[in-house]
Structures are given as structure tokens and as C-alpha cells.
Amino acid sequence: MVLCIGPEGSGKSLLLKKLQSPNYVDNTTTSVPTVGTNILSLRVADKLYTIREVGGTLAPMWPNYFVNVGKVMYVVDASNLCQISAAGVLLYTVLVNPLLRKAKVKDEYKYGN
């Protein structure tokens, strides 16, 4: 299971939509804040991943979703300078959780301009 988390308004839903269908998202695409969770499947290089997106408003409850997580996608809106330092603190609290001891976190994907 892949867990997709990040602060409120960081673009988790749009990123996942873009990964599912690159032509679906353009400069006019909008989304509503995720209330609760979304589960979707994503095929990458002939591998099928199950991704659970958890809304940023549920940050205090994120540890409830850490069981059996193999990878973490942590999304931050780098254009929102006010959010970056708070997002770093929030990420640190996620990474020190013992349930994610074996989960992989990568910073390879860059989305946007």
C-alpha cells in the first residue's frame, strides 16, 4: 500500500489525477479538498499500486493509516512559502513513527512548473 499525505491544499488529489491520466489535468482543472480518504489504483511501469490518499485536515489521524504501508508519497506545494516549514515539521513527525520504519520515501518526482 502507498500512502499519499501532505498538508491541506498541497495538491495531493491533482497530483494523483495527473499520474492516472496526464491529459485529464490542465491549467483549468480544480479539485475540492479531500474529506476523509480516497483509494485508487495506479499502473506505473507494468506495476499496479494501490494508493490511499488521506486529506490534510486528517493529519492528527494519519498514524491510523500507517499499518502495512510500504511507500509514502508526501506532497508539498513548493509555491506556498508559508506552508513549507510547517510541512517539514509535519513530515518529520511522520518519518519518526515506528510503523513507517520500513516504508520508502522518495523525492524524485517533481510536478508542475
Query: How far is Cα 43 from Cα 51, in angstroms, rounded to an integer?
Result: 11
Query: Which of the four CATH numbers 3.40.630.30, 3.40.50.300, 3.50.50.60, 3.40.50.10540 does domain 11-20+33-100 have?
Result: 3.40.50.300
Strand partners, 13: none
Residue 113 has what pLDDT? 45
Environment class of 21 (CB within 10 Å of its CB; exposed 0-12, middle 13-18, buried 19+): exposed
Tell me if 8 is assigned to a ligand binding site. yes
Local structure of 5: helix, strand or coil: strand
Tell me if 60 is assigned to a ligand binding site. no
Residue 106 has what pLDDT? 65
- pLDDT by 10s per residue, the chain, length 113: 999 999 998 989 888 988 888 787 777 777 778 888 999 999 888 889 999 999 999 999 999 999 999 999 999 988 888 888 889 999 999 999 999 988 877 655 555 54
Tell me if 30 is assigned to a ligand binding site. no
Tell me if 70 is assigned to a ligand binding site. no
Question: What global pTM score does this model have?
Answer: 0.85
Tell me if 56 is assigned to a ligand binding site. yes
Name the residue type at position 85: S
* Torsion over CA: 83, 87, 88, 90 (sign): positive
pLDDT (tens digit per residue) in 23-54: 877 777 777 788 889 999 998 888 899 999 99
Phi-psi label, residue 51: left if phi above 0, alpha if psi -120 to 50, beta otherwise: beta
- The residue ranges of every structural domain in the chain are 11-20+33-100
Residue 63 has what pLDDT? 96
Tell me if 50 is assigned to a ligand binding site. no
Query: How far is Cα 7 from Cα 57, in angstroms, rounded to an integer?
Result: 8
